[in-house]
């Protein structure tokens, strides 16, 4: 049978307390017993001394009748046996025997306490009395009366049963006291065990719940000892497993959405291609005009498929870290100069203006110029697509975050006066295949991956990108990139390129 930690702690504590109480009880009993014996001996010595002092005048000229009467009275008052012995060991008086039997008492000269009293002035002994048959404790004192040549011994004997009764009473009192102490120790041991193991039980319960998937469970503890540290550590692990499981679920949902979106995006052009191929096979190929129109549609949908696959491949390479980004100083003016020739023809078709606002103090950014050109091209292409004819687009740059505690950053923004993005959709426009207006996006030829690629490229440059509303209408895409320590390149403060 396996004992729980609580029982192990309780029994161990109880055993330790029991041993401690037992040893303390034995030592206390022996100490109090010795103390009681000393007190009894002192009381016996005092009584014997009083008896000797009282009998001393009668010993100068011993009178057996007076001596016996006095011995009997002193014995009654002292609660013991008083014996008077001369130098030869003859008993002159004894309070424990009748008057006529005193003469028949055997010689006491060889009694141990009497021998020591004659030799040292005082003697003690504990034994069974041959005269009375009781177990007695004896104390004898040597007394030399004034005017007498020979010493006498006055002996007082108390029944040992009296002392034994007092010791027994002491034992009973100690037994009750230590019995109470034992019960208290039992209660204390279980309280200690409960205080130590209750947090462990809570930890075990929560751990089982966490293992069962209830990640919201936490351990409540106020202690700061090792158990408290263990509970806090498990809570931190649970938090990490939860803020991790949540991330995994979110990633799983993203994966599902991605698969669904990819399937949908690929199915649309494939369905169109399949439909027009079937139409050609059904006879449209015999009509040159219809055949050419169908083939143009098939070509357009094939290009769209190819564009989606290229964007997917590029996005996959960037996310997996296969794309190596250069770390070189790149001036914003160089980015604009390389990008504008690609975008301006598209803007001219819609009679749109492009304004460039690059202050001369804007430093270069650290990064890969080709990839940053791709970012700016994508942002400008979207601005042209979603801005009506005659609208305005602006490219602006400025220094941001130049403080003592924060390194300098460069802010580059692309703003338009187009249809804008609802505030609820702005946080999601950088997700793969997310479109605010799906029908219009497909109509304009977007794959839904461009802004996701933009975000990954910017983040790979240790930058940030977000979108906000442009007043009074349109959108404003803003990205922050780390600046280099190089001096800014000469550039125009303001430039507007008309359509």
- Over the stretch 39-52, which tens digit does the pLDDT of each residue have? 777 878 888 888 88
Q: Flag whether pLDDT at 499 surpasses 50.
A: no
| In a shared domain, residues 363 and 280 | no
Which residue has 């000229």 as its token pair? 61
Beta strands 135-143 and 122-128: pairing type?
A: antiparallel
Tally of domains within the chain: 3
CB atoms within 10 A of CB 161: 12
Same domain, 362 and 481: yes
Contact 240, 210 (CB under 8 A): no
Which pLDDT does position 444 carry in this prediction? 55
Please check whether residues 344 and 456 belong to one and the same domain.
Answer: yes
pLDDT confidence of residue 493: 42
From 119, 135, 166, the end of a domain falls on: 166
pLDDT tens per residue across span 17-65: 777 777 777 777 777 767 767 777 787 888 888 888 888 888 877 788 8
Question: Half-sphere exposure of residue 327, counting CA atoms within 13 Å on the CB side?
Answer: 5
Range of the domain at 469: 328-497
Mean pLDDT on 139-165: 83
pLDDT of residue 450: 83
Residue 196: inside a domain, yes or no?
Answer: no
Whether residues 359 and 475 fall in one domain: yes
Residue 219 reports pLDDT greater than 80: no
Kindly state whether residue 211 falls inside one of the protein's structural domains.
Answer: no
Whichever domain contains 283, its CATH number is 1.10.287.130
- Do 284 and 153 lie in one domain? The reply is no
Looking at 319, 344, 374, which one is the last position of a domain?
319
Residues 120 and 16 both lie in one domain: yes
55 shares a domain with 154? yes
Q: How confident is the model at residue 498 (pLDDT cuts 50, 70, 90)?
A: very low
Same domain flag for 398 and 490: yes
> What is the reported pLDDT for 42?
80
Task: Judge whether residue 78 has pLDDT over 80.
Answer: yes
Same domain, 136 and 49: yes
Q: What is the pTM of this model?
A: 0.49
Mean pLDDT of 401-424: 82
Q: What is the pLDDT at residue 405? A: 61
Checking DSSP bridges between strand 353-357 and strand 392-400, what pairing results, if any?
parallel
CA proximity to 355, closest of 492, 498, 491, 469: 498
Q: What is the pLDDT of residues 382-399, one digit of tens each?
A: 999 999 999 999 999 998
| Domain CATH for 151 | 3.30.450.20
How confident is the model at residue 403, as a pLDDT? Answer: 58
3-state secondary structure of 330: strand
Inside any domain, residue 191: no
Same domain, 241 and 292: yes
Tell me phi and psi for residue 188, to 5 degrees. Answer: -65, -40
Q: What is the pLDDT of residue 1?
A: 53
Average pLDDT over residues 329-334: 92
Q: Tell me, yes or no, whether 290 and 425 share the same domain.
A: no
Around Cβ 268, how many Cβ atoms within 10 Å? Answer: 15
Same domain, 15 and 155: yes
460 assigned to some structural domain: yes
pLDDT at 402 over 70: no
Report if residue 198 sits inside a domain. Answer: no
């Amino acid at each position: 049978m396996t004992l729980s930690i609580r029982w192990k702690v309780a029994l161990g504590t109880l055993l330790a307390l029991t041993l401690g109480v037992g040893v303390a009880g034995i030592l206390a009993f022996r100490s109090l017993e010795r103390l009681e014996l000393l007190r009894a001996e002192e009381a016996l010595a005092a009584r014997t001394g009083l008896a000797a002092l009282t009998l001393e005048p009668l010993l100068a000229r011993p009178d057996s009748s007076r001596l016996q009467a006095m011995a009997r009275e002193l014995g009654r008052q002292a609660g013991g046996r008083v014996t008077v012995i001369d130098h030869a060991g003859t008993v002159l008086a004894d309070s424990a025997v009748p008057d006529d039997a005193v003469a028949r008492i055997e010689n006491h000269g060889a009694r141990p306490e009497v021998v020591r009293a004659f030799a040292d002035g005082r003697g003690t002994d504990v034994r069974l009395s041959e005269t009375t048959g009781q177990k007695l404790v004896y104390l004898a004192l040597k007394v030399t009366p004034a005017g007498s040549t020979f010493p006498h011994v006055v002996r007082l004997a108390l029944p040992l049963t009296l002392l034994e009764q007092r010791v027994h009473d002491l034992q009973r009192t100690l037994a009750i006291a230590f019995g109470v102490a034992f019960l208290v120790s039992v209660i204390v041991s279980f309280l200690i065990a409960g205080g130590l193991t209750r947090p462990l039980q809570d930890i075990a319960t929560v751990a089982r719940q966490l293992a069962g998937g209830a990640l919201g469970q936490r351990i409540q503890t106020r202690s700061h000892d090792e158990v408290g540290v263990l509970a806090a550590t498990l809570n931190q692990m649970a938090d990490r497993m939860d803020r991790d499981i949540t991330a995994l679920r979110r990633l799983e949902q993203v994966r599902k959405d991605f698969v669904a979106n990819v399937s949908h995006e690929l199915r649309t052009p494939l369905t169109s291609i399949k439909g027009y191929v079937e139409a050609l096979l059904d006879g449209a190929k015999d009509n040159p005009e219809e055949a050419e129109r169908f083939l143009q549609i098939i070509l357009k949908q094939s290009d769209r498929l190819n564009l989606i696959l290229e964007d997917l491949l590029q996005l996959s390479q960037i996310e997996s870290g296969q794309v190596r980004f250069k770390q070189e100083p790149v001036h914003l003016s160089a980015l604009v100069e390389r990008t504008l020739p690609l975008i301006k023809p598209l803007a001219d078709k819609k009679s749109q203006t492009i304004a460039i606002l690059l202050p001369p103090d804007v430093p270069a950014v650290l990064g890969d110029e080709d990839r940053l050109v791709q970012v700016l091209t994508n942002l400008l292409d979207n601005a042209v697509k979603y801005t009506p004819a005659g609208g305005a687009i602006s490219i602006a740059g400025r220094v941001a975050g130049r403080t003592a505690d924060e390194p300098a950053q460069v802010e580059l923004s692309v703003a338009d006066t187009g249809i804008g993005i609802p505030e609820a959709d702005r946080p999601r426009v950088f997700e793969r295949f997310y479109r605010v207006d799906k029908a219009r996006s497909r109509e304009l030829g977007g794959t839904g991956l461009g802004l996701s690629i933009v975000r990954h490229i910017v983040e790979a440059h240790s930058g940030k990108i977000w979108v906000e509303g442009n007043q009074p209408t349109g959108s404003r895409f803003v990205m922050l990139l780390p600046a280099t320590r190089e001096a800014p390149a000469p550039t125009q403060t303001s430039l507007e390129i008309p359509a």
